[in-house]
A and B are shown apart, each in its own frame.
Chain A
Amino acid sequence: MAKISFHAITKQYPGTSRPAVDAVSFDVAEGSTCMLVGTSGSGKTTLLRMVNRLIEPTSGEIVIDGKNVLQENPIALRRRIGYVIQQVGLFPHLTIAENVRVTAEIAGGWTKQRLDKRVDELLELVGLPPAEYRKRFPRQLSGGQQQRVGLARALATDPAIMLMDEPFGALDAITRERMQNELLRIQRDVQKTILFVSHDIQEAFKLGEQIAVLDQGKLIQLGTPVDLLAQPANDFVRKLVGGDSILRQLEYLPVIDALEQDTVASARGGDVPTFLSDATLLQAMLKLLETNAPALAVQDKDTQQQLGFITLASINREITHAHGHKTERTETAI
């Protein structure tokens, strides 16, 4: 378990007019997944690579578990951080088993038996049956399979932190989605602190508990997917997260945003379908259309306490409210 804190971290390459990463400060909580999103050149990869010191910051601090990484031996630091990249970078002359175990081998302190067992465990974890894949070579695997090996290799020493630089960016849409689901499944078991660079906002919404939006090296906004949708910090964030898309909003905004207390349904008392408070507006809307009920009762997901009602009208109000917000802002801009 490990918490990562960025304190005014800055990287300026010599001969450039503006920093690639500009005084970025934020925290990534233990065991959570933080997505770094932004257009290319936003500094997200640079920021990621400063954590394991593949790039040295110009100024600022990165603190992991209260220790400044800049005061650590970079080799030792990298050995306790998992690293996964888009191009995978498997070693072509080594078998799949050797590729997975090499991380643990160089870190040291593993007996041969433990290594063998660990390799099989990891291949199993990433969905590659060890008996079939152990002795194969990287070029005999598809892109998706190679990235599974890349993931297994990064997990070999059971690091508390994982750095992932667009790991699924080069995969086709179907494989990418499958890998995202796998990562979510694995993350439920292993609970790593993950810093994940992505240029795919859909992916960021799916995998991230926190999303850090970067633009031209600056941290524009840090928040949950819902935060970014409901209160985008500026037009850039709104465009990036697709805040204009009604479907996207329905998909992520929670039902409690569109609650109302006095409805026809409330007068009839409890005679309507019940929904839990962590459902999304889309789920509620589909339920309303499906059952033809005038309203849904919303209960708190923990206490079962009735919180209010939701109707098609209240959903509509919430969505138009978000859009009205946008029009207002655009006018101010003009």
Chain B
Amino acid sequence: MNALLDFIADPHNNFMGQSITYLRICAISIMLAIVIGVVLAVAVSRSPVLSFIAVNLSGLLRAIPVIAFLVAVVPFLGIGAPPATVALVILGIPPILLNTYTGIRGIDPATIDAAKGMGMTYWQILTRIQAPLILPIVAAGVRTSAVQIVATATLAAITGAGGYGAYIFDGFNTFNKTAILAGAIPVAVLALIIEVAMGWLERALTPIGIRREAVQSQMVVKQGEVAKA
């Protein structure tokens, strides 16, 4: 334990710098995955054929092992953060795309018909009706993606992007257990934090009207009032 703290405190190991690098790669990848996943899902949601293609193609891309992908794209994207980011974005898109698409399709068609019939524009339907209703489902997708990206970003060290992965690979090469732990523990902690935080966010984003428990508890209050009266 002391060895681990010493490793982290040692300025030669630049723990702060590597942490920032790691967080930056993860954050950029998650952001890009959200933007691409959501925009793509909204764009294809009106056409069943396009949706089918998008969902399956993204799933297929995801099946490529990240480690193979990284090595394969280095000749085109060079070394450092870019190839790692691209690989992580590809890994992160499918859960977000699929959830957004499922969320949009899951909205009762009568709700959309009523919205159109009262004269809502496409943008108003998207922002006032679809977005609030699908946000919790999208957040669940983002949670899956983010945890996977954080857990996989150690591989970025292969293309020389740095981060916690650098400690792990160095540790392997030098049989330095402390270095491996200094890389692995922060990743595990980070993944846990994201899991918990996103779970909380998902709940917070669920509108009260479609929250099962909230509606029921309100009903109970209502009945209580009636009983008193």
Q: Is the beta-carbon distance between A78 and B116 smaller than 8 angstroms?
A: yes
Bitwise, A69-95 to B at CB < 8 A (1) or not (0) is 000000111110001010111111111
Does A107 belong to the interface (CB within 8 Å)? yes
- Chain B residues 177 to 226 lying within 8 A of chain A, measured CB to CB, are 207-210, 215, 218-219, 222
| Number of A residues with CB within 8 Å of any CB on chain B | 31
Considering the chains assembled together, what is the distance between the CA atoms of A214 and B222 in angstroms?
A: 47
Q: Is the beta-carbon distance between B124 and A106 smaller than 8 angstroms?
A: yes
Q: Is the beta-carbon distance between A106 and B118 smaller than 8 angstroms?
A: yes
Q: Is the beta-carbon distance between A76 and B110 smaller than 8 angstroms?
A: no
Output the least CB separation between B202 and chain A (Å).
15
Does A52 belong to the interface (CB within 8 Å)? yes
Does B111 belong to the interface (CB within 8 Å)? yes
Does A140 belong to the interface (CB within 8 Å)? yes
Bitwise, B7-23 to A at CB < 8 A (1) or not (0) is 00000000000000000
Q: Is the beta-carbon distance between A92 and B111 smaller than 8 angstroms?
A: yes
With known contacts A92-B209, A102-B128, A107–B119 Cβ distance under 8 A: yes
Q: Is the beta-carbon distance between A87 and B110 smaller than 8 angstroms?
A: yes
Q: Is the beta-carbon distance between A92 and B210 smaller than 8 angstroms?
A: yes
Q: Is the beta-carbon distance between A106 and B120 smaller than 8 angstroms?
A: yes
With known contacts A89-B113, A137-B215, A140-B219, A83–B118 Cβ distance under 8 A: yes
**How many contacts A-B (CB < 8 Å)?**
82
Which of B117, B124, B219 meets A54, CB within 8 Å? B117
Considering the chains assembled together, what is the distance between the CA atoms of A17 and B202 in angstroms?
A: 50
Output the least CB separation between A48 and chain B (Å).
10
Q: Is the beta-carbon distance between B207 and A93 smaller than 8 angstroms?
A: yes
Does B5 belong to the interface (CB within 8 Å)? no
Q: Is the beta-carbon distance between B129 and A91 smaller than 8 angstroms?
A: yes
Q: Is the beta-carbon distance between B129 and A78 smaller than 8 angstroms?
A: no
Contacts of A88 in B (CB 8 A): 110, 114
Bitwise, B96-131 to A at CB < 8 A (1) or not (0) is 000000000000101111111111110010001100
Contacts of B219 in A (CB 8 A): 140
Contacts of A118 in B (CB 8 A): none
Q: Is the beta-carbon distance between B118 and A85 smaller than 8 angstroms?
A: no
Considering the chains assembled together, what is the distance between the CA atoms of A163 and B114 in angstroms?
A: 12
Considering the chains assembled together, what is the distance between the CA atoms of A172 and B111 in angstroms?
A: 22
Q: Is the beta-carbon distance between A89 and B209 smaller than 8 angstroms?
A: no
Contacts of B218 in A (CB 8 A): 136-137, 140
Contacts of A57 in B (CB 8 A): none
Bitwise, B61-75 to A at CB < 8 A (1) or not (0) is 000000000000000
Output the least CB separation between A62 and chain B (Å).
16
Contacts of B124 in A (CB 8 A): 106
Q: Is the beta-carbon distance between B117 and A93 smaller than 8 angstroms?
A: no
Q: Is the beta-carbon distance between B115 and A89 smaller than 8 angstroms?
A: yes
Does A191 belong to the interface (CB within 8 Å)? no
Q: Is the beta-carbon distance between B117 and A83 smaller than 8 angstroms?
A: yes
Does B132 belong to the interface (CB within 8 Å)? yes
Considering the chains assembled together, what is the distance between the CA atoms of A95 and B208 in angstroms?
A: 9
Contacts of B119 in A (CB 8 A): 75-79, 103, 106-107
Considering the chains assembled together, what is the distance between the CA atoms of A136 and B222 in angstroms?
A: 10
Q: Is the beta-carbon distance between B129 and A89 smaller than 8 angstroms?
A: no
Contacts of A163 in B (CB 8 A): 117
Does A153 belong to the interface (CB within 8 Å)? yes
Does B133 belong to the interface (CB within 8 Å)? yes
Bitwise, A134-166 to B at CB < 8 A (1) or not (0) is 001111100000000010011000000001000
Contacts of A75 in B (CB 8 A): 119-121
Q: Is the beta-carbon distance between B114 and A83 smaller than 8 angstroms?
A: yes
Output the least CB separation between A289 and chain B (Å).
47
Contacts of A138 in B (CB 8 A): 209
Contacts of B128 in A (CB 8 A): 91, 102
Contacts of B133 in A (CB 8 A): 92-93
Output the least CB separation between A128 and chain B (Å).
14
A-B contact pairs, 15 of them (CB 8 A): A54-B113, A75-B120, A85-B110, A85-B114, A89-B113, A89-B115, A91-B128, A92-B111, A92-B207, A93-B209, A93-B210, A95-B209, A102-B118, A106-B120, A163-B117
Given contacts A75-B119, A91-B128, A139-B215, 10 further A-B contacts (CB under 8 A): A54-B116, A79-B119, A92-B111, A93-B132, A93-B133, A93-B209, A137-B208, A139-B210, A140-B219, A150-B114
What are the nearest 8 A-B pairs in CB distance? A89-B114, A93-B207, A87-B110, A83-B117, A78-B119, A79-B119, A89-B110, A137-B209
